Chains A and B, each alone.
Chain A
C-alpha cells in the first residue's frame, strides 16, 4: 500500500481533536470498543510518524465487519444511543486507517464534530460544554492545518481562535433568537435513561437508603415567598398500597383525575419546580396542589403525574395548600386495600396491634398509641441497617431496632393495618436546602424519604411520619444531621468552604439549566419581553435574527476592512492608479516595484508613457523620498484622477 503523505503534525492536531471528542465516551463504551479504538489510534500515529504503510483494504473491511458484529453482540442492535455511539467511535477509528487524501480528512473532521456533539447525549453540564467547545476548537485547527499546509500549527491554533471569537456572537444570537418549537423533535434516544437515579415504583428495605448515598439533584424549587419551615416540606412521590411482607407496591393502575376536592385550612404556597429528568411519570409537589400544570393529572392518592415520562428537564408552577381536609372520595375498595396485610408473617407485630385494637378500640387512640410506641422505643437511625429475614417488620420493631425511613414507615403501616386502621405508604422527598447564592431550594436524591398516611374517617387521609416520631432530627435538621457519617460528602455540613463552593457551583449549574438547557419558547418570550417585544411571532424572531446576525457580520467585516485599509494617502492613490492600469490589462504583481511597473506599463501603453512615468516618478518621490509635501500628494491625486489608460 502507498505510504501516507499527509503532514504528520497536522494529522496529530486532527487526531488530538478526535481523541478529545472520543475520550469522554470511554466512561460508558464497552471495554473492548475503547481498547480497539485506542489501538487503531496509536497505530495511525505510528503510521504517520514512522512512514509505515496503511493497512490493506482486506484488513479494514474485515475489521469493519467485526466492529459491527461486536456492536450487535453487545447491544443486540446498532440503533439507539449506546450502540450508535459505540459504532460511530469504532468506524471513525477505522476510517483513520484509510486516511490518504484531503477528501477523507474532511470526512473525519466532520465526523469528529458529530462525535463531539454525541457527548451531550450523556451529559449536558457546563464542564462537558467547555470540553466540547475546546474539542471543536482543536478539530477546527486541524482542518485549517490541512488547508494551509505551509503554516505552523501554532498559527493554525491562532486562526482557529480568531474564527471562534468571530463565530461566538453569531452562535449566541442563533441560540437566543432562533424560533423555538415545542415538541419532541430533538428528544433523547429511548435508552438514554437506563441508569438515572431516583425513586422507584416499588419499595423494599434498602431501596431508599441506597438513594441516600447520592447527592444528585432531584429538583429545584423557587418559592414566590418565604419557604415553609423544613418539617412541612413533604414532596409527594409514588404512593404504595400493597405489601407482600418484603416489598411495597402501588395499588394497581393509577386512577387519574383533573383535580382533587378538598377544603383548605390555611394560606397557600406558590412555587416553581425545575425537575431533573428521571424517566418516570410522577412529578413532585407539596400536599395538596391546587390547579394542575398543563398536561398533568393527579391520581386518587394525590400523586401528580405527567402524561409522558419525564425525559427532559421540566419546569412547572404550582400552588399548594399545606393544611387541608379531604374527606370525600375514599372508595370502599381502596379502604379494603389499605387494611390488607400478609397474614403469615410478623406474628409479634400482629399480636401487638390486635392488643391495641382490643384495649383502645378507637382509631385515633390506636394511632396515638403507635406513635408513643415508636417514640419511646429507642430506635436508631442508620443508612446501613442490619439485614432482615422473612419477618422483617417483627425483626425491626422488636429486635434490631435500627433502620431507615422505609423500615419505620413499613413497620408503622403494618401495625396500623393489623390494628384495623387503614394506612398507606407515601414516598418522596423531605426537606431541601436553600442555596443562598441564587435563592433556589435544592432537593437531592439523599433527601428521599418514606412516610405514612392513615385514614381517619372525619379527617380524611392524615400524614404521619414515623421516622420523625422516632428520630425528630431527621425532619427538623435534615438527613445530613441525622446520619452524619453516611451522608454524601458534599452534603455534610461541617465543611463550610466546601459548602460555599458547592452552593456557588449549584447556582451556576442552575443558571445554565434555566437559561441554556431550559431555553424553551417560554424563556424565549420572557427574554424578548426584556427587549420590549411582547409575544413575538416566529416571523419577527426570524427578522430579528437576520438583522442582528447581519449587523454582527457587518461590524466584523468593517473592522477587518479598517485594519487592512492602507493608512498612507500616497499609497491609496498609487493603488487606485494600479487598479486603473489593471483594468486596462497591465496588472501589477504584488512584488513589483513602482519604477519597474511604470516602465512595463509605459511599454504596453506607449501613448500614455509620459503620464505613467510622471505618476510613477512622483509616487516614488513621495513614498520613498526624504521630504514629501502635502501639495505633491494632491498633485499625484489629480494626475491619477486625470489618467485614463
Chain B
C-alpha cells in the first residue's frame, strides 16, 4: 500500500464527526459490516475493499491489476459471499473461445431441439481471472457482455442476471504470452485498482491466522439482493453541489488542456468519476459529495485512462492521480 502517497485521502475518516443533528444516511449502516468482515479476510486493505464496493454500488466493473498471490481472488470471493451474490470464476487462457464464456447451444436428441447451456458469464459476480491471457476475440466477448448486460447467441438475446458485476484481474502486462487490454477496452472498466503487498503487521497476522479459504466459506451474506439494488439506486440520490461539479470539471479539463498527458479524460470517465465519488460518499455515510470523495476515487478512475507524456519509468496510477490532484485547486 502506498502509504506515503495518499496523505489526506484515507486519514480523515476516523476523525471527522458529522453534525449530530443530521440524519445518517441509512444505507451506510447496512454496508459497514460488509467492509468490516471483508477486512478480516484481506488484511490491511480496507481502502481497496471500499473502492471495490464503491465501484459495485456505482454499477461499474472493476479491474484489479497486480502480481499473482496478493489476494485478488480472495477479495472477489469474499465480496460475493458477503453481498449474497452468486459467483463464477473464469480462468482465462489463450485457447479459450467466446463460447467458453457465453455458453453453447447443444442439440438435444430427445427433444430434437437446440438447448442453450449458459456459460459461466451467467452469474451476478464474475471473477475474470487473468483476462489478459485470453485472445482479443474472447476478451471482447466478455467486454460486450459487461457493456450490454446481455449476451446474444444465434440471434437470441439473453439478459444477464442483475446485479451484474465483473471483477477482472490482469497481471502486469510485460509477462510473456499475454494480450494486454487496449486503452479503448480499459475504458470499459469503471475502476482499476492495485492491491499491493500487505504491510508488515498485516502480513504477520496473515501468517499466524486461519486458512483464508476457511474464513471465506464461513462468511454469511449481509445483504438481500433487493437491499443491494436499493443501495445502488440510492447512489444517484447523493447530492453533488455545483461547486463539486465544478471541481470534477476542473480536473477533467486539466487533463485535456495540460501537455503532460497523451490524451485527456473522456466524458465517460467524468461521469464515472462523479458517480463513483457519490458511491464513496454513500459508503462514508454522507448524503452529499465532498472533494475528498472525488480525490479518493480519482486514482482508480483516472489511473488506467491517463498516460503521462514523460512516462520514463511507468508511474503508478496513484502517482499520476496525485499529480493531477495537486495541480488542480478545489474551486
If the complex has contacts A150-B259, A621-B19, are A591 and B243 also in contact, measured as CB distance less than 8 A?
A: no
- A596: Cβ under 8 A from any B Cβ: yes
Q: Which residues of B contact A618 (CB under 8 A)?
A: 19
Q: Are A624 and B329 in contact (CB under 8 A)?
A: no
Q: Which residues of A contact B11 (CB under 8 A)?
A: 596, 599
Residue on B nearest A622 in the bound complex, by CB: B241
Q: Are B290 and A595 in contact (CB under 8 A)?
A: yes
Write out, one digit per residue, whether chain A residues 45-89 have a CB within 8 A of any chain B CB (1) or not (0). 000000000000000000000000000000000000000000000
> What CA separation (Å) do A613 and B260 show in the bound complex?
37
- B18: Cβ under 8 A from any A Cβ: yes
- A42: Cβ under 8 A from any B Cβ: no
Q: Are A152 and B243 in contact (CB under 8 A)?
A: no
Q: Are A591 and B18 in contact (CB under 8 A)?
A: no
Q: Are A593 and B19 in contact (CB under 8 A)?
A: no
Q: Are B17 and A613 in contact (CB under 8 A)?
A: yes
> What CA separation (Å) do A590 and B290 show in the bound complex?
15
Q: Are A624 and B19 in contact (CB under 8 A)?
A: no
Within 8 A of B (CB), among A601-628: 602-603, 613, 616-618, 620-621, 623-626
> What CA separation (Å) do A184 and B272 show in the bound complex?
72
Q: Are B326 and A593 in contact (CB under 8 A)?
A: no
- A190: Cβ under 8 A from any B Cβ: no
Within 8 A of A (CB), among B303-331: 325-330
Q: Are B241 and A591 in contact (CB under 8 A)?
A: no
- A333: Cβ under 8 A from any B Cβ: no
Q: Which of B260, B290, B325, B326 contacts A594 (CB 8 A)?
A: B290
Q: Which of A150, A590, A625 contacts B241 (CB 8 A)?
A: A625
Residue on A nearest B284 in the bound complex, by CB: A595
Give the interface size bracket for B toward A: 20 to 34
Q: Are A625 and B15 in contact (CB under 8 A)?
A: no
Q: Which residues of B contact A603 (CB under 8 A)?
A: 15
Q: Which of B17, B241, B327 contacts A624 (CB 8 A)?
A: B241
- B16: Cβ under 8 A from any A Cβ: yes
Q: Which residues of A contact B287 (CB under 8 A)?
A: 625-626
- B291: Cβ under 8 A from any A Cβ: yes
Q: Are B8 and A593 in contact (CB under 8 A)?
A: yes
> What CA separation (Å) do A595 and B286 show in the bound complex?
12
If the complex has contacts A599-B15, A599-B16, A617-B18, are A624 and B330 also in contact, measured as CB distance less than 8 A?
A: no
Q: Are A152 and B295 in contact (CB under 8 A)?
A: no
- B289: Cβ under 8 A from any A Cβ: yes
Interface of chain B, helix or strand or loop or mixed? Answer: loop
> What CA separation (Å) do A591 and B18 show in the bound complex?
22
Q: Are A591 and B329 in contact (CB under 8 A)?
A: yes
Q: Are A593 and B241 in contact (CB under 8 A)?
A: no
If the complex has contacts A568-B243, A599-B15, A625-B239, are A152 and B329 also in contact, measured as CB distance less than 8 A?
A: no
- A458: Cβ under 8 A from any B Cβ: no
* B65 CB, nearest partner CB in chain A, Å: 26
Q: Which residues of B contact A600 (CB under 8 A)?
A: 8
Write out, one digit per residue, whether chain A residues 537-568 have a CB within 8 A of any chain B CB (1) or not (0). 00000000000000000000000000000001
Q: Which of A592, A595, A616, A626 contacts B239 (CB 8 A)?
A: A626
> What CA separation (Å) do A594 and B326 show in the bound complex?
15
Within 8 A of B (CB), among A306-327: none
* A620 CB, nearest partner CB in chain B, Å: 6
* A13 CB, nearest partner CB in chain B, Å: 15
* A375 CB, nearest partner CB in chain B, Å: 83
* A378 CB, nearest partner CB in chain B, Å: 82
Q: Are B259 and A623 in contact (CB under 8 A)?
A: no
Q: Are A624 and B289 in contact (CB under 8 A)?
A: yes
Residue on A nearest B322 in the bound complex, by CB: A591
> What CA separation (Å) do A592 and B322 show in the bound complex?
11
- B288: Cβ under 8 A from any A Cβ: yes
Residue on A nearest B238 in the bound complex, by CB: A626
Q: Which residues of A contact B328 (CB under 8 A)?
A: 591
Q: Are B329 and A625 in contact (CB under 8 A)?
A: no
> What CA separation (Å) do A594 and B295 show in the bound complex?
12
Report which A residues bind B (CB closer than 8 A): 150, 152, 568, 571, 589-600, 602-603, 613, 616-618, 620-621, 623-626
What are 24 A-to-B residue pairs whose CB atoms are below 8 Å?
A150-B258, A150-B260, A152-B259, A589-B326, A590-B329, A590-B330, A591-B328, A592-B330, A593-B330, A595-B12, A595-B16, A596-B12, A598-B16, A599-B8, A599-B12, A600-B8, A620-B288, A621-B19, A621-B22, A623-B241, A624-B241, A624-B290, A625-B239, A626-B287
In addition to A596-B292, A599-B12, A603-B15, 7 A-B residue pairs with Cβ atoms within 8 Å of each other are A593-B295, A596-B8, A596-B9, A618-B19, A621-B22, A624-B288, A624-B290
